[in-house]
Amino acid sequence: MSLLRFSRATLPAMPWKNGGGTTQQIASWPQGAALDSFGWRVSIATIAAAGPFSVFAGVDRSIMLLEGDGVRLFTHDGRVDHALDVPHRPFAFSGDEAIDCTLRGAASSDFNVMTRRGLWRADVRVLDRASSVEAAPHGVVLALRGTWRLNRDICREGEGLWWADGTQAWQPTPESEHARLVAVRIVPA
């Protein structure tokens, strides 16, 4: 099993081809997989300009505002029209959709989970109190606010852990007031 620690402060930021933002990849499985061949991928993106999202055929997506004014996500046929303007509320949608985005103010950052449909599925939960996270063979935990005890590990705001190819369960406990943690369990479909 791989269990790796990460920090938002040290994740490299890759600029988008269209110049509208950057992405910090937390983890992708299998490691080294290209954007058209990953089984699952978790990242943080900064959206700095309006424009279309990349289409990921056969991929289920979940996005959650971390900081900033947020964005409006929509399809031109009206099937999707969602204001992503409240932090820490996941919104799930199909990567097959031609999603467009407009800014609701200044640039914002968001947390993204993508899973290859038919192979993997993700359960994305935001915790604000001591809880249990059921065992999963793959996943990510990230302290969104405050400090968290994750079994024997401590993660401060902006720090997290990701694991692959080994079952892991967590007993997250906040160590500070108003703490928030996102827990992503990735399981076979």
Examine domains 11-116 and 120-188 and report if their fold is the same.
yes
Q: What is the pLDDT along the chain (189 residues), one digit of tens a residue?
A: 789 999 999 999 999 877 789 999 999 999 999 989 999 999 999 999 999 999 999 999 999 999 999 999 999 999 999 999 999 999 999 999 999 999 999 999 999 999 999 999 999 999 999 999 999 999 999 999 999 999 999 999 999 999 999 999 999 999 999 999 999 999 999
How do the domains of the chain map onto residue ranges?
11-116, 120-188
Give the single-character DSSP code of 8: G
Q: What is the model's pLDDT at position 17?
A: 74
User: Which of 127, 125, 123, 124 shows the shortest CA–CA distance to 149?
Assistant: 127
Q: What is the model's pLDDT at position 177?
A: 92
Maximal C-alpha separation, the chain = 49
Q: Does domain 120-188 have CATH number 2.60.120.10?
A: yes
Distances (CA, A) of 29 to 15, 54, 123: 21, 19, 16
Hey, what CATH topology would domain 11-116 get?
Jelly Rolls (2.60.120)
